[in-house]
Amino acid sequence: MADLLRKLDAGLIGILNVVVIMTSLAITGLIMFLVLARFVLGWSVVGVLELATLSAMWLYMCGAVVAARNHEHLVVDFLALSLKNPTHKALHSFAVSAIMVVLSLFFLSLANDMVAWSIKRPQTTAALSIPLIVPQSAVVLAAFLCAVYAIRDAIVAAANLFGKTDRTAGRV
């Protein structure tokens, strides 16, 4: 079971990395084209900013999931670094993980409400008529995957706290 989860995680992070790279390139290319078109050629190209914004939503949300998976979000780690006792470190890690599970589930609830609103009152972008559910789906994906990774971290932290693993390794 653990091998299957590792393979799923590896596949997922591969897909997210591709999305992050592609959306970064799309944003860069679209904004560069928009600037050149407006200020060099004097054109006003409709829809380019909408595409860049849509790409940005996917970049930010997929980047947030990658950061959550890798524990690379911004943190205030003064307390975590000052703890020397392995039990206190494990307790702190478990408390942080539990808080993250609650916040991730709240994020998932908000994303669910957003989708319900989008289904009830569908809207599109002004120039290209792209349904707003397209960029909003990035938020839903991020909420779901951040909740999954928060639960994973809570399970690992609980195992560390209750002595099922080597506390220095931090693995189940």
| Mean pLDDT, rounded, for 46-61 | 97
User: pLDDT tens-digit profile of 105-151?
Assistant: 999 999 999 999 999 999 999 999 999 999 999 999 999 999 999 99
What was the pLDDT predicted at 166? 53
* Residue 128 DSSP code: T
**C-alpha count within 13 angstroms, C-beta hemisphere, residue 149:** 20
Helix (H) or strand (E) segment spanning residue 53: helix 48-70
State pTM to two decimals: 0.87
- Helix H, strand E, coil C: the string for 115-162 is HHHHHHCCCECCCCCCECHHHHHHHHHHHHHHHHHHHHHHHHHHHHHC
CA nearest 135: which of 8, 27, 29, 14?
Answer: 27
Q: 3-class DSSP state for residue 76?
A: coil
